[in-house]
Amino acid sequence: MAIVEPRPFEWNFCGTCGQSLMPSHDGERERPYCAACSRHYYLNPVPACCVFIQDSAGSLLFGKRAVEPCYGQWALPGGFMEIHETGEQCALREMREETGLTGAGARLLGASAARSRDKGAVLVLGYVIEAWRGELVPDSDVSDLQFFSRAERPPVPFTAHRELLDLYDALNP
């Protein structure tokens, strides 16, 4: 049986009154609009982070995903930001949860926004971990952890991760 790819999430109905949205110009361009509530809807990205954890040889740590989306594929460790959390705190928390490692110092590399199948759009903040300690312990979101050199890196399913990896490589030739 063919697997039907879900459409990227879009606004179709008003979240307040439930009416169907119609395209309407907001002064810049056409966007979904609820006439009853006089409200335009925007595809704003949800903040998340990913971490760049290097070993002594300069290889980067990847986690094999044990959750959807992209179950079974390798990606940078990371996850979604919580309320009352800074980007640095999010990066260090997700690192600890997914890898078992404790990081000291997270330096912002850059940010990349991309469409997301289940969130609509995601803004991923990439953080380079300046120092870390501990033993690798994959948790329930990740079934395996492995350092990969640049030449051995697995294909990464997330556009934002790929863009941030390109940025990382450009700054670490």
In the complex, the residues that contact Zn ion under the rule CB under 5 A are 14, 16-17, 34, 36-37
Nearer to Zn ion, 21 or 106 (CB): 21
Give the nearest distance from C-beta 18 to Zn ion in angstroms: 7
Which residue number places its CB atom closest to Zn ion?
14
Nearer to Zn ion, 35 or 67 (CB): 35
Taking the C-alpha atoms of residue 45 and residue 42, their distance in angstroms, rounded to an integer, is 9
Give the nearest distance from C-beta 44 to Zn ion in angstroms: 17
Give the nearest distance from C-beta 39 to Zn ion in angstroms: 6
CA distances to 35, 43, 89 from 142, in Å: 44, 29, 20
Give the nearest distance from C-beta 21 to Zn ion in angstroms: 8
Nearer to Zn ion, 14 or 165 (CB): 14
CA distances to 11, 40, 65, 171 from 163, in Å: 26, 30, 19, 13
Q: How many CB atoms lie within 10 A of CB 114?
A: 15
Nearer to Zn ion, 15 or 58 (CB): 15
Please identify which residue in the block is written with the tokens 């992209």: 70
- Of 124, 139, 121, 140, the C-alpha closest to 91 is 124
